[in-house]
Amino acid sequence: MNKCGVILLIEDNLKILEANRRIFTDDGHKVLTADTLQKARIHLKTNEPDVIVLDVMLPDGNGFDFMTELRDICAAPVLFLTAKDEREDKLKGLRAGGNDYITKPYDVDELRERVANFLSFARRPPPRLKLGALELDVAASMAFANGADMALSPKEFALLRFFAQNEGNALSAEYLYTRVWKTSMVEDSQAVRATVSRLRAKMTGSGYTITSQRYEGYCFEKA
């Protein structure tokens, strides 16, 4: 594997969890582990994995059902790794939003290669994201509204990009802070509000706006 990234392993079989942790750590990846969905949620509050390897039958829930919650907070590709090997199970996993499916027992090298394929795409972000009159040049960290440079600061661009990737979803200020500022929001509680306010003003004419959702935070949506 020549592309290293952050991998979240969600698996309740501790022997499998530890074995896969060692394999991916030895390949140079940062590996997060969780043997319950609750522990996975804790990781996801402060980390943005590049790939998630997800078991189905977990002590506190079902991996298929977890996909609905997961897709609201994370865009990382999901590889199901499970003993559920019926055709209908595979289809259910893919329909739930999974990107790939491997059944146990599995070939370790095949698992590594499939994760490597996901990472190769994760490390190649699209050069531009276009939403109507709004266009983001990811490589240059610049945004344009009707072709005009919006003159965003690095933090404003990072926030806009995250909003654009989560269009229509209500996102709390705390969640935005952990994803964009990459740390927990403790004493800097006004940073998100101030950045959203500046960004909203610069989005005039883009066809999009950021609305305030009572008790829920902010939502990026069409104006």
Q: How far is CA 43 from CA 7, 10, 26, 47, 138, in A?
A: 11, 11, 21, 6, 26
Whether 51 and 79 have beta carbons less than 8 Å apart is answered as yes
pLDDT exceeds 60 at position 202: yes
Quick one: pLDDT at residue 177? Answer: 87
How does pLDDT run across 45-98, given as a tens digit for each residue? 888 899 999 999 999 999 999 998 888 778 789 999 999 989 899 999 988 889
Quick one: pLDDT at residue 71? Answer: 80
Quick one: pLDDT at residue 151? Answer: 95
3 state DSSP class of 212:
strand
| Average pLDDT of the segment spanning 153-161 | 94
Percentage of the residues of the chain whose pLDDT score is greater than 90: 62
How does pLDDT run across 104-139, given as a tens digit for each residue? 999 999 999 999 988 887 655 567 888 989 999 987
Percentage of the residues of the chain whose pLDDT score is greater than 70: 96
3 state DSSP class of 10:
strand
Q: How far is CA 209 from CA 6, 62, 158, 190, 197, in A?
A: 32, 36, 16, 20, 11
Residues with Cβ < 8 Å from 166, sequence gap 6 or more? Answer: 220
The overall average pLDDT reported for the chain is: 90
pTM, two decimals, is 0.60
Cβ-count burial of 86 within 10 angstroms (0-12 exposed, 13-18 middle, 19+ buried)? exposed
